[in-house]
């Protein structure tokens, strides 16, 4: 029996329990309660359609769903999934979209008033912290993972939010930080792909030409932005620099971290655009054909192909071929420093069930979401939503195959493979199975949540770039600031 068939059997049990609990002692149904109905759930992927008959309760219930997807086209797709779920189950879903940065305060405020969402789509940065604060029903989420089949998910995504053997939320989708480089220029200069600190520095120094408005590398350096934290963390992981050790002690003043800070700030200080760089300016520099390398998320991939009018390539060669950069860029998902092993920063998003939720209805929604609604959800932004659920059974790839067939873009639509080739796409998917992050594998997810709010790491990196701290001093500043955060969490 496939895992998805066991999943739907689980849904049927929920339906029967819900009906039994709502009945009078004499076995008659209480007023306003309808009997379970039989509906058909369909999972469609290229070349295959899987149909299952499902018995679910029609109760007139409603649940609250919060999502950090705020763009109109993504909200429209989300609403479509919700409407189909409601048509099948009778469970209404009240969708609220909110900026990611507002989520922590909203969750805290709603916890105080007893109005947490039943389901919340959120980044991994918050999952463990919320679980430890009692804002998430981890047992309810773990039951969904087990019902769907833990072996149908990317193991790395589960590991990031597993607390004492329990998955605190259900992995939805994710993306990995990328080092993107001008393959045409590398080839012309006889340079190897930038897969190590040494090769990155060699290429940056060789291709840096500020007199002709061209830099060796561009990456985020704004001390007040999470994007800088994400970018630096990618370099730190590659050199074996960790936030904490296995015992939970902060380890940011280690030689590996000093080395990572020194390398990162040297690259961005000597071979990049001067001044503060952020998510917008780094992209603009690369799109103008003025940088040999950029560190960015895969959300840049549809824009590099000329599929979004609000962010289009403007290099000289792009005038004749808007997709020039897409066709002439190489991708390095993971690289290594002298003291580390290849690593890739990964950002995974999850579906959590709020404490006090209508658990059966929330679970039914997630079970539908990760089956009939899943490929539609991935279609909201395929370039940045790699499927964390691979298929409907162990070893199957229905959802990966469905994702690969999706078109991306805003003003124009096309498959990513049309520009980047199947080899690149397969490389990106393979990398998503083993995303790495500071703190989560050491059980310090709550500390990660804290430092992504206060941002002491990118602030210290910025201070080095501004010349007010050395790499060693910055490491000590990070160490003290994070130790203070850890102390506050222990109170």
Strands (E), 367-491: 386-387, 407-408, 414-415
Question: Is residue 29 predicted with pLDDT exceeding 80?
Answer: no
The share of the chain scoring above pLDDT 90, in percent, equals 75
pLDDT of residue 229: 94
Residues near 335 by beta carbon (within 8 Å), at least 6 away in sequence: 179, 194, 195, 196, 197, 199, 200, 238, 342, 343
Position 409 confidence tier, pLDDT thresholds 50, 70, 90? confident
Report residue 491's pLDDT band, with 50, 70 and 90 as the boundaries: confident
Spatial separation of the C-alpha atoms in residues 457 and 250, rounded to whole Å: 13
Which domains can be identified in the chain, with CATH numbers? 3-174+346-421 (3.40.190.10), 178-343+455-490 (3.40.190.10)
| Mean pLDDT to the nearest integer, 128-148 | 95
More confident residue, 164 or 20: 164
* Whole-model pTM over 0.85: no
Residue (of 267, 268, 299) closest to 283 by Cα position: 299
Q: What number of other Cβ atoms are within 10 A of residue 149's Cβ?
A: 20
Once rounded to an integer, what is the mean pLDDT over residues 129-138?
Answer: 94
Q: Which of 47-61, 204-218, 263-277, 306-320 has the lowest mean pLDDT?
A: 47-61
Is residue 60 very low, low, confident or very high in pLDDT (cuts 50, 70, 90)? low
Please give the average per-residue pLDDT across 153-182, as a whole number.
94
Does the pLDDT of residue 440 top 50, yes or no? yes
Q: What is the mean pLDDT of residues 428-455?
A: 87
Cβ–Cβ < 8 Å for 237, 257 = no
What is the helix (H) or strand (E) element at residue 352, kind and residue range?
strand 346-353
For tokens 């018995």, the residue is 55
pLDDT at 51 over 70: no
Q: Dig out the tokens for 72 from the structure.
A: 């109109």
Rounded to whole angstroms, the Cα distance separating 20 from 419 reads 55
- Residue 193 pLDDT > 70: yes
Encoding tokens for residue 165? Answer: 């053997």
Give the pLDDT confidence of 219-256 residue by residue, as tens digits.
Answer: 999 999 999 999 999 999 999 999 999 999 999 999 99
Q: Indicate the SS3 state at residue 205.
A: helix
Q: Which tokens in the block code for residue 377?
A: 């959800």
Phi, psi of 313 (to 5 degrees): -60, 140
**Taking residues 22-46, what's their average pLDDT?**
37
- Residue of higher predicted confidence among 364 and 6: 364
At 449 the pLDDT is 82
- pLDDT of 365 strictly over 70: yes
281-303 pLDDT, tens digit each: 999 999 999 999 999 999 999 99
Cβ atoms of 151 and 394 closer than 8 Å: yes
Report the chain's mean pLDDT, rounded to a whole number.
Answer: 88
Note the Cα 133 to chain centre separation in Å.
Answer: 22
* Gap between the Cα atoms of 219 and 207, Å rounded: 16
Residue 427 confidence (pLDDT)? 85
Helix or strand or coil: residue 427?
A: helix
Q: Supply the pLDDT for residue 47.
A: 42
């Amino acid at each position: 029996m496939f895992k998805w068939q066991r999943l739907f059997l689980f849904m049927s049990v929920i339906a029967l329990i819900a009906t039994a609990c709502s009945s009078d002692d004499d076995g008659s149904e209480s007023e306003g309660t309808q009997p379970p109905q039989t509906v058909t759930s369909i999972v469609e992927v290229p070349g295959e359609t899987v149909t299952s008959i499902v018995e679910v309760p029609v109760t007139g219930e409603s649940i609250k769903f919060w999502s950090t997807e705020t763009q109109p086209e993504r909200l429209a797709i989300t609403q479509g999934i919700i409407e189909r779920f409601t048509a099948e189950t009778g469970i209404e879903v009240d969708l609220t979209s909110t900026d990611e940065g507002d989520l922590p305060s909203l969750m805290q405020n709603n916890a105080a008033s007893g109005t947490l969402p039943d389901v919340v789509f959120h980044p991994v940065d918050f999952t463990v912290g919320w679980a430890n604060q009692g804002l998430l029903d981890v047992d309810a989420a773990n039951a969904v993972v087990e019902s769907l089949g833990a072996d149908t998910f990317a193991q790395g995504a589960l590991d990031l939010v597993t607390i004492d053997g329990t998955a605190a939320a259900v992995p939805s989708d994710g993306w990995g930080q990328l080092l993107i480089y001008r393959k045409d220029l590398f080839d012309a200069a006889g340079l190897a792909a930038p897969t190590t600190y040494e090769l990155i520095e060699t290429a940056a120094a060789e291709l840096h030409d500020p007199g002709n408005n061209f830099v060796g590398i561009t990456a985020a350096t704004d001390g007040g932005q999470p994007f800088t934290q994400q970018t630096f963390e990618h370099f730190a992981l590659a050199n074996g620099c960790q936030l904490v050790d296995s015992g939970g002690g902060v380890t940011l003043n280690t030689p590996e971290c000093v080395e990572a800070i020194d390398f990162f700030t040297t690259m961005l200080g000597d071979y990049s655009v001067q001044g503060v760089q952020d998510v917008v300016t780094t992209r603009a520099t690369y799109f103008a054909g003025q940088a040999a390398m950029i560190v960015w998320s895969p959300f840049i991939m549809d824009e590099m192909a000329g599929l979004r009018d609000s962010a289009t390539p403007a290099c000289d060669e792009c005038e004749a071929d808007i997709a020039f950069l897409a066709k002439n860029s190489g991708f390095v998902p993971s690289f290594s420093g002298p003291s580390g092993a290849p690593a890739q920063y990964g950002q995974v998003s999850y579906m959590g069930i709020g404490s006090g939720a209508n658990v059966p209805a929330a679970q039914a929604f997630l079970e539908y979401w990760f089956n009939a609604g899943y490929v539609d959800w991935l279609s909201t932004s395929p370039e940045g939503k790699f499927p964390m659920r691979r298929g409907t059974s162990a070893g199957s790839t229905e959802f990966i195959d469905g994702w690969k067939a999706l078109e991306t873009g805003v003003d124009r639509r096309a498959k990513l493979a049309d520009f980047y080739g199947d080899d690149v796409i397969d490389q990106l998917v393979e990398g998503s199975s083993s995303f790495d992050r500071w703190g989560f594998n050491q059980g310090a997810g709550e500390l990660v949540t804290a430092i992504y709010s206060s941002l002491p790491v990118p602030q210290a990196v910025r201070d080095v770039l501004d010349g007010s701290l050395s790499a060693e001093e910055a490491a000590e500043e990070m160490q003290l600031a994070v130790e203070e955060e850890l102390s506050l969490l222990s109170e």
